[in-house]
């Protein structure tokens, strides 16, 4: 599994940079994984990602919601609960205001997550290179949910370093990708920590994160939570 992850992330890196050859990418990932895994442990944090706080807040709000054992299943009810919980989180309140969700779009994310993810990325204003990078990352995330988090975490950190150092991506493109990856990284950790198979297999939260990240971190968090919780509820 470890070699599979290294090879997969090496291929992924090729879609996010033209500075490495395939062989260089695999070598770099082996070195970074060996070093990072030794020190990471079960901790989702990556302080080198300037948008890491989005992932942390996501997990804090998700934990608060699930701990409440709410039985809401409608989009409006779940959205209201998320709003109430968000209002009590000081870190979230320090972020720029989020944009209200379009409930029809959220429902489409829940019903057709893969199609919506593809369309959201394709219709964004990002460059083709950054679109391909984000798309490949999200495709890889679907496989990571079946892997040990101890192996996944350093691989995502390596990916984020490549995005951060990519001189072709604009600051806005990096913000979108790194916000999406931070929420994905924390979400995978949450699923691993809670052993919550329903959340682990929920694609909706990652689709919501990407759509929301096109606006700002607060919107990425709330869209991810809303789509993820609704997706989880449909499997219960």
Q: How far apart are CA 106 and CA 108, in angstroms?
A: 5
**H or E stretch including 148?**
none
- Kindly calculate the radius of gyration of the chain based on its CA atoms and give it in whole angstroms: 17
Quote the mean pLDDT of the chain: 84
Contact 29, 9 (CB under 8 A): yes
Q: How far is CA 166 from CA 83, 130, 136, 169, in A?
A: 35, 10, 16, 6
Maximum pairwise Cα distance, the chain: 51
Q: What is the pLDDT of residues 32-45, one digit of tens each?
A: 444 444 444 578 99
Looking from the CA of 164 toward its CB, the CA atoms found within 13 Å total 17
Looking from the CA of 185 toward its CB, the CA atoms found within 13 Å total 32
Does the pLDDT at position 52 exceed 80? yes
DSSP 97: P
Q: Please give the average per-residue pLDDT across 165-194, as a whole number.
A: 93
**H or E stretch including 183?**
helix 171-194
Does the pLDDT at position 112 exceed 90? yes
Contact 206, 187 (CB under 8 A): yes
Phi, psi of 202, rounded to the nearest 5 degrees: -80, 120
Q: What is the pLDDT of residues 211-235, one digit of tens each?
A: 999 999 999 999 999 999 998 877 6
What global pTM score does this model have?
0.85
Phi, psi of 10, rounded to the nearest 5 degrees: -65, -45
pLDDT at 9: 55
Q: How far is CA 158 from CA 25, 29, 54, 139, 208, in A?
A: 10, 7, 18, 16, 23
pLDDT at 201: 55
User: Which of 226, 196, 192 lies closest to 211 in space, CA to CA?
Assistant: 226
pLDDT at 222: 97
Residues 6+ apart with CB under 8 A from 25: 10, 11, 13, 14
- Between the CA atoms of 205, 193, 79 and 198, what dihedral angle is there, to the nearest 10 degrees? 60
Helix, strand, coil fractions of the chain, as percent rounded to 5: 75, 0, 25
């Amino acid at each position: 599994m470890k070699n599979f992850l290294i090879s997969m992330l090496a291929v992924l890196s090729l879609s996010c940079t033209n500075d490495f050859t395939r062989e260089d990418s695999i070598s770099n990932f082996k070195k970074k994984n060996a070093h990072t895994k030794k020190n990471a442990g079960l901790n989702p944090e990556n302080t080198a990602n300037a948008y890491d706080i989005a992932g942390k807040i996501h997990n804090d709000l998700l934990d608060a919601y699930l701990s409440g054992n709410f039985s809401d299943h409608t989009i409006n009810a779940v959205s209201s609960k998320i709003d109430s919980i968000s209002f009590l989180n000081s870190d979230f309140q320090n972020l720029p205001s989020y944009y209200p969700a379009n409930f029809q779009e959220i429902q489409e994310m829940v019903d057709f997550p893969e199609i919506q993810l593809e369309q959201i990325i394709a219709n964004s204003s990002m460059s083709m290179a950054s679109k391909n990078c984000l798309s490949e990352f999200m495709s890889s995330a679907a496989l990571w949910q079946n892997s040990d988090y101890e192996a996944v975490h350093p691989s995502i950190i390596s990916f984020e370093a490549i995005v951060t150092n990519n001189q072709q991506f604009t600051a806005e493109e990096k913000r979108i990708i790194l916000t999406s990856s931070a929420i994905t990284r924390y979400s995978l950790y949450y699923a691993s920590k809670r052993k919550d198979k329903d959340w682990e297999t929920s694609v909706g939260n990652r689709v919501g994160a990407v759509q929301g990240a096109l606006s700002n971190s607060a919107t990425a968090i709330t869209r991810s939570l809303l789509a993820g919780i609704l997706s989880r509820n449909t499997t219960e």
